[in-house]
């Protein structure tokens, strides 16, 4: 039995970031990404199959760049908030994600994760069995389409990063800040694209960069999905919701092999991240080493995560995620 209060106090000691380690993390992420991008451009003259093969590791490093931006959004990467914010804004140009706009949406996600009465912003849309059964036939089909694998991990991520992030959805009436964030990011993206197209040409640029972004977007959405959509996840109504339970029971420990754990910047240690989002990702491994009891909480292996794709509805009667087929069993 984990003592939530004691664990929360203990985690405070891991919050201190290291400036030298943070710079190292930026270098070992950005430099390989740049080299892989150049290698993909070079490979175009020989074989596009080789180009597409190189897109997979390049997308992995692009995803890792987003994880650094993610830590900046939590104020965890550097000690100084200004350093976090400006690095986050710069990285947002490369990840096609307006930093300040995304930061606010993501904060809402952390404040409402696993709360059935506060769904809708920064999470995967999830209906209860009762809500699904009360919908019209057409709206049930729309939800099924949304939950389809090709839409969830293919079309959806592409739409989100290429189109949805170009406007401050969910914040369009919240003042000037979200508009400045999205429009300034769009302008900087335009300058970056213009420079790369001028350097290598429109066709080669598209052949190299588009596969990287599409793959990275799908990888990112997959990780986010597995972190909160797994067989033993717990959801609760507002009157029974608690932060500690939402973190430990509503977020998974995605137990990935070492190389993938490094490439995804420990984001699989998601239950600890939700307990204390100010812990830098490069210190989450220390938490797991010092507190091995956390390894059995919400643990999901890669093969188990594939099973979670069919779980699309929350059954309040059984307190479990269920498939469309098993919703009435």
At 6-15, the pLDDT tens digits run 888 899 999 9
Alpha-carbon distance of 109 to 26, in angstroms, equals 25
Distance between CA 16 and CA 13 in Å, rounded?
A: 7
* 182: in domain: yes
Calculate mean pLDDT across residues 246-260: 94
Is residue 58 one of the residues assigned to a domain? yes
Residue 327 lies inside a defined structural domain of this protein: no
d(CA 90, CA 290): 34
Q: How many domains does the chain have?
A: 1
Average pLDDT value for residue range 184-192: 97
Distance CA 118, CA 186 (A): 30
Residue 38 covered by a domain? yes
- Averaged pLDDT, 292-310: 92
Range of the domain at 248: 4-322
pLDDT of residue 117 exceeding 60, the answer is yes
* Strand 127-128, strand 313-315: pairing: parallel
Q: In this structure, are strands 313-315 and 320-322 parallel, antiparallel, or unpaired?
A: antiparallel
Answer whether residue 3 shows pLDDT above 70. Answer: no
pLDDT digits (tens, 9 = 90+) for 54-112: 999 999 999 999 999 999 999 999 999 999 999 999 999 999 999 999 999 999 999 99
In a domain, 177, yes or no: yes
Asked if the structure places residue 329 within a domain, the reply is no
How much is the average pLDDT of 186-199? 97
Looking at the domain assignment, is residue 328 inside a domain?
no
Model pLDDT for residues 126-184, shown as the tens digit of each residue: 999 999 999 999 999 999 999 999 999 999 999 999 999 999 888 888 888 889 999 99
Q: Rounded to two decimals, what is the model's pTM?
A: 0.94
Q: Please report whether residue 307 resides in a domain.
A: yes
């Amino acid at each position: 039995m984990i003592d939530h209060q004691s664990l929360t106090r203990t985690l405070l000691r891991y919050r201190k970031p290291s400036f030298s380690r943070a710079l190292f993390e930026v270098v070992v992420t950005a430099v390989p990404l740049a080299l892989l991008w150049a290698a993909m451009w070079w490979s175009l003259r020989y074989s596009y199959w080789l180009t597409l093969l190189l897109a997979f590791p390049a997308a992995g490093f692009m995803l890792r760049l987003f994880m650094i931006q993610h830590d900046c959004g939590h104020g965890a990467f550097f000690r100084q908030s200004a350093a976090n914010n400006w690095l986050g804004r710069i990285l947002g140009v490369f990840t096609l994600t307006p930093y300040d706009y995304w930061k606010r949406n993501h904060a809402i996600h952390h404040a409402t994760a696993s709360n059935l009465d506060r769904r809708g912003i920064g999470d995967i849309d999830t209906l209860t069995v009762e809500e699904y059964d009360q919908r019209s036939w057409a709206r049930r089909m729309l939800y099924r389409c949304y939950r389809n694998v090709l839409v969830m991990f293919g079309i959806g991520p592409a739409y989100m990063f290429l189109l949805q992030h170009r406007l401050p959805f969910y914040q369009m009436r919240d003042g000037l800040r979200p508009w400045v964030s999205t429009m300034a990011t769009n302008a900087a993206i335009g300058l970056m694209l213009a420079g790369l197209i001028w350097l290598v040409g429109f066709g080669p640029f598209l052949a190299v960069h588009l596969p990287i972004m599409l793959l990275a977007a799908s990888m990112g959405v997959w990780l986010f999905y597995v972190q909160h959509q797994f067989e033993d996840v717990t959801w609760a109504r507002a009157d029974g919701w608690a932060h500690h339970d939402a973190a430990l029971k509503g977020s998974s420990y995605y137990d990935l092999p070492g190389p993938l754990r490094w490439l995804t910047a420990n984001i699989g240690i998601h239950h600890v991240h939700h307990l204390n989002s100010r812990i830098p990702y490069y210190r989450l491994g220390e938490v797991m080493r010092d507190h091995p009891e956390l390894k059995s909480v919400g643990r999901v292996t890669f093969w188990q995560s594939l099973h979670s794709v069919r779980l699309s509805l929350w059954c309040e009667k059984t307190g479990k995620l269920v498939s469309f087929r098993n919703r009435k069993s």
